[in-house]
Amino acid sequence: METLGNQTFQAYMVRKDEEGFRAGLEQITLADLPEADVTIQVEYSSVNYKDGLASTEGGKVVRGYPVIPGIDLAGTVIDSSDSRFKKGDKVLATGYELGVKHFGGYSPYAKVPGDWLVPLPEGLTTKEAMAIGTAGFTAAMSVESLLRTGINQDSGPVLVAGASGGVGSMAISILSELGFEVIASTGKKEQEQELLQKLGATEVITREEAYAKGKGPLSAERFAGVVDPVGGKMLEVVLGSVKYGGGVALSGMTGGYQFESSVIPFILRGVQLIGIDSVYCPAERRTQLWKHLGREWKPKSALQMGVNEVSLEQLPDTLSRILEGKAVGRTVVKLS
């Protein structure tokens, strides 16, 4: 710590003040980071849809300026006043107020409350943990929620919507690792559809095919469960295709935040609509799920083929692409 002194380093900062809104790289020092229990040398962060929103003026996710976005980070503790963490420990953090109120991962150093930290689980490097990141953690929460409805590998296929995105691609990988039949729904063209099969999807359908199936409140029972990071119209149509007693794990809204439905799928088929929130997931469930992600739930296919790596300099372009719905797979940001 002392050796860092007033040494400057580059970070991606978003400001909104009397001079207007601006986002870009700045030189800062450790003293510019708001105080917190644990100081981390960040090795990797990741790029999520929410980070894209945080980098734009109308994104509505930032809860205080200035802020360094980056809702995920992983690295090594270099200083700690929290007895649970000591210098040299490998840790990760996702969610809470990281990158939207509290300075986040797009900086080679971060100061983070100890309560938000998870020890890096066995079986994962810091780069793998960030390739998984909030998206993979959300996928894991979704899968766990569907398993809690009682479904298993013999119950039938699980639909993954928004399949080429971060949550979707990680969900395909985890589900196929666990031996589930996975149907992937995507708006992307053939090249990406092939990629989804390599990730572990047994069948790939277009978004239009998925929408076309949903006429009326109930259609044929097809899916044992659904991982839905899309919402909107997708949610409307999939609710009617879930098999008796199955569930939809809803985490996102890239397809819209409003949807119309009826009580029919719930009262005639006992379908469960399960909300997924990764941000304030309690510490015990969080730590347990990360342990799974380092072991039997490790999304090996996604880690092997779907991870892009960018530098801080390449970050602005990458953030624009994710907002345009053009991102494929996960992107990690290398910090140090």
Ligand X SMILES: NC(=O)c1ccc[n+]([C@@H]2O[C@H](COP(=O)([O-])OP(=O)(O)OC[C@H]3O[C@@H](n4cnc5c(N)ncnc54)[C@H](OP(=O)(O)O)[C@@H]3O)[C@@H](O)[C@H]2O)c1
Q: Could you give the CA distance from residue 49 to residue 66 in angstroms, rounded to a whole number?
A: 19
The contact pattern for ligand X, residues 81-120, with x = CB under 6 A and - = no contact, is ----------------------------------------
Q: Which stretch binds ligand X (CB under 6 A): 174-182, 197-205, 247-255, 309-317?
A: 247-255
Neighbours of 16 (CB within 10 A): 15
Should residue 187 be labelled a site residue for ligand X when binding is judged by CB under 6 A? yes
Contact 327, 165 (CB under 8 A): yes
DSSP state of 306: S
The contact pattern for ligand X, residues 116-155, with x = CB under 6 A and - = no contact, is ------------------xx--x-----------------
Give the chain's count of helices (H) and strands (E).
10, 15
The angle at the Cα of 114, spanning 100 to 166, to the nearest 5 degrees, equals 45
Contact 146, 249 (CB under 8 A): yes
Q: Which stretch binds ligand X (CB under 6 A): 7-15, 157-165, 237-245, 259-267?
A: 157-165
Minimum distance from CB of 162 to ligand X (Å)?
Answer: 3
Should residue 315 be labelled a site residue for ligand X when binding is judged by CB under 6 A? no
Minimum distance from CB of 236 to ligand X (Å)?
Answer: 12
Contact 245, 267 (CB under 8 A): no
Should residue 252 be labelled a site residue for ligand X when binding is judged by CB under 6 A? yes
Give the count of residues interacting with ligand X (CB under 6 A).
32
- Do you know the residue count of the chain? 336
Minimum distance from CB of 20 to ligand X (Å)?
Answer: 26
Q: How far is CA 212 from the centre of its chain?
A: 28
Minimum distance from CB of 280 to ligand X (Å)?
Answer: 9
Closer to ligand X by CB, 33 or 130: give it.
130
Neighbours of 129 (CB within 10 A): 30
| Structure-token pair, residue 310 | 């960018």
Minimum distance from CB of 233 to ligand X (Å)?
Answer: 8
Q: Could you give the CA distance from residue 201 to residue 10 in angstroms, rounded to a whole number?
A: 40
List helix spans (H) across the chain.
49-54, 126-148, 166-177, 190-199, 207-212, 232-239, 264-269, 283-294, 300-305, 315-323
The contact pattern for ligand X, residues 37-76, with x = CB under 6 A and - = no contact, is -----------xxx--------------------------
**Beta strand pairing call for 203-206 and 223-228:** unpaired
Q: How far is CA 72 from the centre of its chain?
A: 9
Interface positions, 206-235, toward ligand X (CB under 6 A): 207, 229-230, 234
Closer to ligand X by CB, 66 or 325: give it.
325
Residue type, 236: E
Should residue 306 be labelled a site residue for ligand X when binding is judged by CB under 6 A? no
Q: Which stretch binds ligand X (CB under 6 A): 19-27, 216-224, 277-285, 297-305?
A: 277-285
Closer to ligand X by CB, 186 or 241: give it.
186
Phi, psi of 256 (to 5 degrees): 130, 150
Minimum distance from CB of 153 to ligand X (Å)?
Answer: 24
Q: Which stretch binds ligand X (CB under 6 A): 156-164, 260-268, 287-295, 296-304?
A: 156-164
Should residue 310 be labelled a site residue for ligand X when binding is judged by CB under 6 A? no
Q: Which stretch binds ligand X (CB under 6 A): 160-168, 261-269, 286-294, 308-316?
A: 160-168
Say which residues have a Cβ less than 8 Å from residue 37's Cβ, sequence separation at least 6.
80, 81, 82, 85, 111, 112, 113, 114
Binding site for ligand X (CB under 6 A): 48-50, 134-135, 138, 162-168, 186-188, 207, 229-230, 234, 251-255, 276-279, 322, 325, 327
